[in-house]
Structure 1
Amino acid sequence: MKVHLTNLLQNYGNRVTDQEIYRDHLHISELADQYDYESVGCVEHHFDPGYSMCPDNTMFLSYLAARTSRIKLATTAVILPWNDPLRVIEKISLLDTLSNGRVIFGIGRGLARREFETFGIEMGTSRERFDEAAEMVLRGLEEGYAENDGQFYQQKRASIHPAPMSTFKGRTMGVAMSPDSAVAVGKLGIAMMAFIQGPMREMHMPMIEQYRQAHRETFGTEAPAPKLIDLTYCHRDADEARRVAEEVVANYYMTCVEHYEFGGKHFESTSGYASYAAAKEAIDTMGLDAVVDTYVNAQIWGTPEQMIEKYKERREIVGEFDPIMVFQYGGLTGKQALESFELFSNEVLPELRKL
């Protein structure tokens, strides 16, 4: 089992300066290299520091490329509809050169209406934009030039320099939080990545199976192991671990409700997002408190021993998978997050590697 770390760069409640949040995240990210995590990553988000604030994860990772020596650098999600595909190819190739081939390229489609609207992009076109851009970018990274004649992206042939160092096959992944995204990622032949939202068997396994089936039908081989992202908190005292997790994980989920407008009706009428209407339905049916409780208990947190057992239980359900840890979120930063990271890294990480 390969264990990864990613950064959300969330300034929850704007309690400190944005610069302090970055300092905290960069410190733990550099330590992850010393603990031999497989990769350190960062998501792309804009305009809402209370949710997530990294407008260019390739720039964030280029800093870490110079500050680390072994750890791989993952663009947990470059949101393709928000970016010029040609520039994405150039930035990823440059980052791979700067890091001596340590890049894991992660891509996503985007979900927040506010981000699409601020960029002036019709959210209802995101599925088509993602599919077209993903094929263009992945092709460009293999061939060393960008070229496309599609509905959204017209690009005459352009040579990429610095040229890609080596193939990105086997080191590319895509966020899949809906059935159509799971199928799209499977058809691209890249690893599926998902943020844990609820019960593994009932909520996530159907999409994982759709991903596996799409890959199998397209390539005739078994799909790469999915990568599953949890909000993490590790403490020696089980009661304290629960107390903190119930606070900070709930804090984070409420920022999701606000940022993505999970209580709104726009998903029903936006092409490609009908499955997200289930979030509003769940809130209406179960009540917000019950939905938050489900979300909190779906994450993996606790004492080192509890976390190891939870990962073993998940593997019984999923089969082979790689965990991606999030240590800072929902007001969990600074010394408290660092202590959680160090306890996990010293006592849980070595055991997960053995699985």
Structure 2
Amino acid sequence: GMAVLLLALSWLWNPRAGFGGLGQITSRYLLSVGLPFEGWAQRLATLAERERDPESFVREALADLHELTWIRGGRWQAARGEGTFGEPAEHALVHSFHGLTLTWQAPRPLTPALALHVRLLSQLLGYFYASKVREQTLREQAYSQAIHDTGARLTHDVKNILQSMKTLIAAADTSTPEDGERLQALMKRQLPQLAARLSQTVDKLKQPAEMDVAQISAHAWWAALQTRYEHDDVQFFAEALDDTPLPQDLFDSVADNLLTNALRKRQREPGIAVEVRLALQPLVSLAVTDSGAPAPEHVARNLFLSPVASDFGLGVGLYQAARQAARVGYRLELPDNQAGRVTFRVQATDSRPQDISAP
């Protein structure tokens, strides 16, 4: 009897002619289960390219399960959201992958093959969900870094403006009646520039995307810089200036930081000379040199790599300036650091004019 049964089963599985056999029926069944899954997976990949938010991605992906007739509905849960899809059903199967927990509900117990498909569905959704979470985290970190950089730079802009205002106030406090005409001329030159710089800082705060975009001719920028520091006993040297465009935000920020640091250094070391040199050939460069003591080796080594706590007025300002310079094709460096000659220089990395307005 057993032999006859086995013979009948073998013929049914793979008959010689006519009837396709149980083997083909089983294969067709498995393919009919897999094809809707394959179509859903393709739509899932398309959705992943379009949808950026992790929770919205999961919600839309689970709403598109109408072809999987053996799944009635279910619910999902993640760290930042949860929801339901489809309709409730009696039998449930739960899977958790990469921070996403999925409860699948079916009208009847799932066969091992269908249970395997559900597991694959859960893994695929979990992988895509984790990828979306990582993308969102990176975007948030980049946004936070941009806010930090903008705030740090604008803080230093305001500090430099305040320093200039303090200098004007000190000049007024120490003036005599005989200095009235000279003081009035000084105020007329300086106050409009301070007001313009403060207005520019406010504009940057309103539109941080516009930072590093403005350009100014070398001749105009150099004249404005000399006017700002004409009362600070700073020597200015430049040759053959023309209308070569300079990145205004970078040059204003670097010049103010370097000169403020040098003048603060002069308060500790009276009598040191401070000079500024602007060159347009062969590479655009701006250098500020003082005749005081060098920066300590440990400060100089990390000056442009990270914020440095120091008593020399260097701190976070030059770190931010170095990052700003790199973004627009310049490099901030310390080519001389010896007693009697300390030089900071910002220099273009390419001899061509920098197109800082390009994205």
Instruction: State TM-score, norm by structure 2.
Output: 0.20
**Structure (1 or 2) with the larger CA radius of gyration:** 2
Higher RCO, 1 or 2 (CA under 8 Å, sep at least 6)?
Answer: 1
Instruction: State TM-score, norm by structure 1.
Output: 0.20
